[in-house]
């Protein structure tokens, strides 16, 4: 695989994720912030509300 996505985990810093990428032989080429939604019951209706975000890096395989 020449490209792979790496998600920053709940108990991980961005720097930890970047180090994990490098350990697997990838370098970051793109950063994405993906919204996280949840369903809430409001007045008998289900409404979808944003509850957070997750950070995902796209990594490219480092040529050796």
Instruction: List, as one string, the DSSP characters of the chain.
Output: --EEEEEPPTT--HHHHHHHHHHTTEEEEEEEEEEEEEEEEETTEEEEEEEEEEEEEEEEEPP-
pLDDT (0 to 100) of residue 64: 60
Q: What percent of the chain has pLDDT over 90?
A: 77
**Domains contained in the chain, number:** 1
pLDDT one-digit tens code per residue, 39-63: 988 888 999 999 999 999 999 998 7
- Residues paired with 27 in a beta bridge: 60
**Residues of the domain holding 22:** 3-61
What pTM, to 2 d.p., does this model score?
Answer: 0.77
């Amino acid at each position: 695989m020449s490209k792979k996505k790496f998600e920053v985990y709940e108990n991980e810093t961005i720097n930890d994720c970047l180090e994990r990428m490098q350990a697997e032989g990838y370098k970051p080429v793109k950063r994405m912030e993906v919204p996280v939604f949840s369903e809430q019951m409001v007045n008998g209706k289900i409404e979808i509300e944003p509850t957070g975000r997750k950070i995902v890096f796209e990594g490219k395989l480092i040529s050796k």
